[in-house]
Amino acid sequence: MMTAQSNLRRRLIQTTVGLWTKASRTVRRCPYRFLFHEMRLILFICGWLCTACSQKESLTVNEFAEKLGKAPHPQLLDARSPEEFARNHIQGAISVNMADGVAKQKVIETLDPASPTFTYSINSGRGVVLAAELRKLGFREVYALSGGLAAWVGAGYPLETFGENSGLTNEQFGQLIRSNRWVLADFSSSYCGGCRLLQPVLDSLEHQYPDELKIIRVELDESPGIIKEQKIEALPTLILFKHGQAVWKHKGIIKLPELLHALRNYAEL
């Protein structure tokens, strides 16, 4: 299946070839008209073609932050739910509720398709989907944040937060991982689909090894300081600690047999 970027590239190539064919006929009839009219149009289309071919559909967190900081009039779109947006967001962001088509369309109608546009969500998912929709609508520069807010916070970039964080502090987390021999920390969010899929796996693991292994759940929205300290790049992320030292790390969903196999390479389970 072709991406929006690939479709745009194909259409621009077809347009450029067509214009060049037309120009070739024109130059035989009127060379001056070709030079002053057709050539300018061809160069304009070629410029667009270069932009489309070179634009990355998703940017790493550092690339995203750099482009956002340098853009003269950026449009920063938060593709999470209004509830998530109300708790925290990147400064200057506009809320776009992907679950409400009418509300989403009203926001899009206020945007300028010619201005650089940046999208993000809790992970990559909704931000990437919104970016693809905007490209189909003719937005010229659209960049999605790879890894979403998890990567943003993990890399140390700031969030505007509303209300007090109710989760673990960095000090409390440090005490927990040092006071238990084996600790499995689950860095997640209740708004992350993959995180919710992982919960039954962790519940089963906790039930099987209630004394040998302590499982700690760290919510992005409640404990952003720990996410930053541990340099989390994606949700969910699992880290196994032995007496406070990280010995194993896994990003993404994992099945129980695979998780047990990985943990048994380090812990006596």
Catalytic residues: 192, 195
Phi/psi at 76 (5° precision): -105, 120
Among 248, 238, 152, CA closest to 195: 238
Strands 142-145 and 58-59: parallel
Strands 160-161 and 88-89: antiparallel
Among 262, 264, 267, 261, CA closest to 249: 262
Phi/psi at 94 (5° precision): -110, 135
Written in H, E and C, the secondary structure of 240-268 is EEECCEEEEEEECCCCHHHHHHHHHCCCC
**Across the chain, where does the E strand assignment appear?**
58-59, 75-78, 88-89, 94-95, 117-120, 142-145, 160-161, 182-188, 214-219, 237-242, 245-251
C-alpha dihedral (33, 38, 39, 45), degrees to nearest 10: 170
